[in-house]
Chains A and B, each alone.
Chain A
Amino acid sequence: MGRAALKLVPTKSAKTISDDEIKAISAQNRDRAFDLVVRKYRDRIYYHALYITKDSQEAFDVAQDVFVRGYHEHRLFDDGFRIKAWLFRVCTNRCYNIVRDKHRRGGILDRLGKQTEVLTKQHKAIDDVLARELSEGMARAMDELSLDHRTILTLRYFNDLSYQEIADTLQIKLGTVMSRLSRAKVRLHEILQETEAE
């Protein structure tokens, strides 16, 4: 397996191409197929990590970790392998580790050299936007939810995962997805009511 050649791919085609079509391409050119996977899912994985970790640098590192693991995952383009659920599962587990252990993994980029000033400025700008968004009612209420509730709401209503995909991602039963999602919405509603009452 040679060095990944990340080529610019028009965003429109990368977003609309299906996972089955990507798998068909992988039979001819695995690097090209991996490029398409990155283009299709990188922003969703990044934003999913951003909403859970609430830190642009952490989310950036997590998204990188996910795709590096994906590059080394030999089953990625196998028939029946669910690329989307697998990517979100790895991302969610990474985010859980970061949030629960409060262990920064910022050293990853240090191995490759000093982080560029440009990237530092981008992360600062994104953190500012996030802080502004989190001060608004709905975002602030989501911030008060438990990690499990915030994650499942993000998967469903931000990333548009189906109930079965959420079950695969979190490795829980379909019934548990339904009840956890319901409880999360009820809790969110209660928090908003308490906020309005104050």
Chain B
Amino acid sequence: MNCWRVQNLIAPFLDDELPTPESEAVAEHLEECPPCRDVIEGCAALPDFPRVELDADVESTLWSEFDRCLASRIAHSLTEPPPGEVAAGGLMHGDLRVPRTFAAAAAAMVVMLVGWNWMTYERLDRLEASIEERDALIVALQDRVAEGAPADAFALGTDPETSLEVLLPAHAPGPMVLGSTRMPNPYRTTNYRVAANPSPTLIR
């Protein structure tokens, strides 16, 4: 038995609460270890624990007042929920104490999960809308081609004011602006040649 273990058994050893084999092991260690022997002798020599000694009159008055107050509180509690169900520093349910920090962390996690789910559904909704829009634009381009317009006559672009996708003439006068168009779909970005067209036409 080592010193650390012995010093964790000082109180039950002195109180004669240890089983015989362990008590003998502690005694054997003490014979060979002066430091542990000094510690245990010091603990054995501790003075008696202090007790508050009250005058008989004070104590008598205290208990009569205690009984009177207790009777009043019990009568009062019968008309209200019993006290002590919520304790400062935590929530109490029966004998279970829920620390305030745990409750706050759990509430924060719930809020984050709800918020994440809401954002995810919002993104899914926007993704579906952008796919529908893209499909409509492709159909419009195909219709134009079917009507005889050359395939490269139009290009998909983005209205800089509304950020909506538009079909623009591919060869327009004026400077050509190269850039990337950020689609409403957050998972894809596509580069388009955007023409400097003062009045883009939304094709649907």
Contact = CB atoms under 8 A, between A and B. Distances in A.
A118 interface: yes
A197 interface: no
A80 B66 CA distance: 29
Given A118-B65, A119-B65, A72 B82 contact: yes
A103 B58 CA distance: 27
Nearest to B62: A122
B77 A186 contact: no
Contact of B83 (A43, A68, A97, A184): A68
B58 A193 contact: no
Nearest to B45: A189
Contact of B50 (A42, A72, A139, A181): A139
Given A94-B87, A97-B89, A192-B46, A182 B54 contact: no
Contacts of A3: 71, 74-75, 78
B167 to A, nearest CB: 68
A163 B17 CA distance: 8
Contacts of B65: 116, 118-119, 122
B183 to A, nearest CB: 54
B74 A71 contact: yes
A17 interface: no
Given A97-B89, A181-B12, A122 B61 contact: yes
B10 A182 contact: yes
B46 A6 contact: no
A133 B43 contact: no
B74 A65 contact: no
A179 interface: yes
Contacts of A137: 47
Contacts of B17: 163, 178
A130 B52 contact: yes
Highest count of chain B CB atoms <10 Å: which of A111, A118, A153, A181 = A181
A24 interface: no
B12 A182 contact: yes
B51 A1 contact: no
B163 to A, nearest CB: 54
B84 interface: yes
B28 to A, nearest CB: 18
11 contacts: A68-B73, A71-B74, A129-B53, A133-B50, A136-B50, A181-B11, A185-B11, A188-B46, A189-B43, A189-B46, A193-B42
Interface of B: 7-12, 14-15, 17, 39, 42-43, 46-55, 58, 61-63, 65-67, 69-78, 82-84, 87-90, 95, 97
Top 9 A-B pairs, shortest CB-CB distance: A181-B11, A179-B8, A139-B50, A182-B10, A72-B82, A182-B11, A103-B88, A189-B42, A185-B43
Interface of A: 1, 3-4, 6, 38, 42-43, 46-47, 50, 60, 63-65, 67-69, 71-72, 89-90, 93-94, 97-98, 100-101, 103, 105, 108-109, 111-112, 116, 118-119, 122, 125-126, 129-130, 133, 136-139, 142, 153-154, 156-158, 163, 171, 178-179, 181-186, 188-189, 192-193
Given A68-B82, A101-B89, A188-B46, 6 more contacts: A109-B69, A118-B61, A136-B50, A178-B8, A186-B43, A188-B43
